[in-house]
Amino acid sequence: MQDKGQELYVIILLGIVLALLLVGFILFLLFMYQKRQHRQEQQLARMKQEYEQEVLRSQLEMQEATFKTIAQELHDNIGQVLSVIKLSLSILPLESQHPAYESVQNSRQMLNKIIYDMADLTKSLHTDRIAQIGLVEAIRFDLESLRRTGLVEVEFSVEGEEYAFENQRAIFLFRMFQEMINNILKHSKATHVNIAVNYRIDNKFVLRVEDNGVGFDPEKKQVQASSSSGIGLKSMTNRARLIGGDITIQSQPGKGTIIQVELPFEREAL
């Protein structure tokens, strides 16, 4: 009778052990399944991010190609036509007493300004030129054009020795700078703009653009996709991400705006 009790006890004990092993095995399978699902979700998220970055990169490259085509068209066709018109006006046999003399002279002056401004625009759009003269010189050229308009006071400073970024990164940085200036002129009502480029801070490039304008709420503006300024901020953020940089925006209504872009020298994202 005692032996049967011991046998029953052993059977019950084995049953419990087997049950525990079965539960453990089931939990292990659930854990492995969840781990596999998590890994797949991470892979899908990474693939989605890579796809979105590739689409964005392609869009921006197409945009740069369009800028280059427009610059070439302005230079080769429209610029030549304007030059011919200017030459035609200059050889008109008009004496100073002629009734149309003053109008012709005014037209020549207007044509001179249009040709000059269009030459500046062509240089700013042409990506090859940005790569040739360097980022700092491209920024300085645009700021000189801005100074001549008299719209705002401009200060520009450079610290450290210029680092030669590869072409795509230099172009993206320059387009981000242009977007900042464009937003200032369109929205800020600023009277003073301070641009600083620094190559000395912790082995990285820093571009800082500060204005004394009306300011804004950065978080609110970035989610306003219908706003032209919201699109501009989103474009700058996307460009910074694609080249491995970081962008920070400090602004409050009525207190101006500071936008800073930081980019390590050694990181090659494109």
Nearest CA to 260 among 250, 243, 242, 152?
250
The whole-angstrom separation of Cα 209 and Cα 198 is 12
Res 213: pLDDT: 92
Cβ pair 262, 249 in contact under 8 A? no
User: How do the domains of the chain map onto residue ranges?
Assistant: 1-125, 154-270
Res 259: pLDDT: 94
Res 65: pLDDT: 64
Nearest CA to 202 among 135, 136, 245, 265?
265
Question: Which mean pLDDT values do the consecutive 10-residue runs of the chain (270 residues) have?
Answer: 62 72 73 70 63 58 65 62 66 72 74 69 69 87 86 92 84 88 88 93 89 87 57 80 89 92 70
How many helical (H) and strand (E) elements, i.e. helices and strands, does the chain have? 8, 5
Nearest CA to 77 among 118, 117, 113?
118
- Return all residues near 76 (Cβ < 8 A) that are at least 6 apart: none
Res 210: pLDDT: 96
Cβ pair 258, 195 in contact under 8 A? no
Cβ pair 164, 126 in contact under 8 A? no
The whole-angstrom separation of Cα 118 and Cα 71 is 9
What topology is assigned to 154-270 in CATH?
Answer: Heat Shock Protein 90 (3.30.565)
Q: Helix 2-73 to helix 228-242 angle, to the nearest 10 degrees?
A: 110
Res 268: pLDDT: 46
Res 70: pLDDT: 67
Res 128: pLDDT: 73
